[in-house]
Structure 1
Amino acid sequence: MADNSNLKPIQLWWRPMVPNPAKIIIILEELSLPYTGTYLELEELKQPKYESINPNGRLPSIHDPNTDITLWESGAIINYLIATYDKTNKISYDTFPEKHHLDQWSYFQTSGQGPYFGQAAWFLLYHSEQVESAKERYLGETRRVAGVLDKWLGSKTSGDGNAWLVGDKITYVDLMFVNWNAAVGMFVQMAQRPKEDWDPETQFPHFWKWQSAMVTRPSFLKAVSLQKAEDVHL
């Protein structure tokens, strides 16, 4: 494992129980990188102070004082952390074709899973009007994305008895999916939807086994346990 004892803490702008900031915490934890958090209330996101850091006014963002870079967009942040700090390929590959397959699945997460699962959550719980067609649309896309993952994982095995998206070990791209996987079940339950709307254990057994293996990892447990600004550090 790389010696990170001389690194300055990476600053993370975040909120608790939000899937995209939690993705960054998981990767920081997996790589044993020091970090500290700046907690933001929702009303602070679209203010000039934060928009000078992230012009999109969303979370997460980071500043790494070790390289003096500021980044936003969770996929870009994770790609940076892996390229800069995973020199031993603990949760990545630098071989062909695996490194390109990692890109493939990371793009699928940021362009497919995250937006569709997020829209399902929005229309189930937060939209000011009850739009049943939108709920059905995004729940259907949620199941479609899970089905893509389930089919692929069902075609794979690894030495540890689990199936992973790339190669024969867990990588950062697996971990990019875990928070939205966990969140959508909570949203469906809170909205009191029928079980057939989201029953991954029955509908997507390979997906379910994969997710069940990831939610036991200390990095995931740390990310979901964080509730206060002072909690965020390694």
Structure 2
Amino acid sequence: MSHGKHFTLFGHKKAPNAWRVPIILEELGLSYELVFLDFTKGEHKAPEYTKYNPNGRVPAIVDHKNDDLVLWESDAIITYLVDFYDPEHTISVTGIDKYFQLQWLFFQASGQGPPFGNAAWYAIFSPEKPPAVLARFRAEVKRVLAVLESVLANQEWLVGGKVTVADLSFIPWNNFVIPDAVEPDFDFEKEFPATAAWHKKLFERPTVQKVYALRAELIASMNK
């Protein structure tokens, strides 16, 4: 493994969770090497990777400037990055607001990730599409968006009156699921206007554009 960069980040070219951490690394101006695992070859379950992440999923990160510390679970990684590498709190907050920030990261991990992932699986990838199962997860996607809407209708950002990791953490799953997995006639801007505007502003950030340009390039190369 090369140690020329500050971090080694294990990910996947398509998986949304794998792209949450690069956004934060870019926001903080930290150098990193991306190592993409081939799920079709079982590389995420092989000993060469599970020595870093025994759960066999992405992402995982190695901090070469902190005694090769290894972390997995994206929200744990994100919290570590801002705690250790955001001394000016450019995308994080302090005091009591730090716990509200953590609250939203937990909500992302438990409320957004699993149902959005299941909605995507059954709507896009599964050969079988049980109507009741699709309806359940599509309804849960909308419920989570309604939670965000109830807050964002009254304030621009989730925590501290500025963009933080609380906001940035939601980008990949929203971007991946909303266009394809909710329902054919879903109108994001009409049903959840404040949340749609918030997501648009986040996605237009130069760091996010850079990360997604790389992702698009990698996916295009896969499809050649």
TM-score normalized with structure 2 length: 0.90
Report deviation, 1:128.
Answer: 3.2
- Does the CA contact (< 8 Å) of 1:16 and 1:224 recur in 2? no
2:98 is aligned with 1:99 = yes
Report deviation, 1:8.
Answer: 4.4
2:11 is aligned with 1:21 = no
Aligned residue among 140, 149, 158 for 1:165: 158
Aligned residue among 14, 17, 37 for 2:34: 37
Structure 1 partner of 2:184: 194
Structure 1 partner of 2:192: 204
SS of residue in 1 equivalent to 2:61? strand
The 1:8/1:129 distance shift into structure 2, 3 A limit, reads closer
Please tell me the residue identity of whatever aligns with 1:183: F
Task: Structure 1 unaligned segments of length 5 or more: list them.
Answer: 1-6, 157-162, 230-234
SS of residue in 1 equivalent to 2:99? helix
Query: Identical aligned pairs, as a percentage?
Result: 40
Structure 1 partner of 2:208: 220
Please tell me the residue identity of whatever aligns with 1:155: N
Instruction: Return the alpha-carbon distance in structure 2 between the equivalents of residues 57 and 132 of structure 1.
Output: 30
- Does the CA contact (< 8 Å) of 2:12 and 2:38 recur in 1? yes
Instruction: Return the alpha-carbon distance in structure 1 between the equivalents of residues 150 and 188 of structure 2.
Output: 13
Structure 2 partner of 1:159: none
Instruction: Return the alpha-carbon distance in structure 2 between the equivalents of residues 26 and 209 of structure 1.
Output: 19
Q: How does 1:21-170 map to 2 (within 5 A)?
A: 21-42=18-39, 43-67=42-66, 68-95=68-95, 97-156=96-155, 163-170=156-163
Instruction: Return the alpha-carbon distance in structure 2 between the equivalents of residues 228 and 11 of structure 1.
Output: 18
Report deviation, 1:147.
Answer: 0.3
SS of residue in 2 equivalent to 1:36? strand
Aligned length: 211
Report deviation, 1:51.
Answer: 1.1
Report deviation, 1:184.
Answer: 0.8
Instruction: Return the alpha-carbon distance in structure 2 between the equivalents of residues 153 and 58 of structure 1.
Output: 31
Instruction: Return the alpha-carbon distance in structure 2 between the equivalents of residues 127 and 63 of structure 1.
Output: 33
Task: Structure 2 unaligned segments of length 5 or more: list them.
Answer: 220-224
SS of residue in 2 equivalent to 1:170? coil
RMSD of Structure 2 on Structure 1 (CA): 1.6
Please tell me the residue identity of whatever aligns with 2:211: A
TM-score normalized with structure 1 length: 0.86
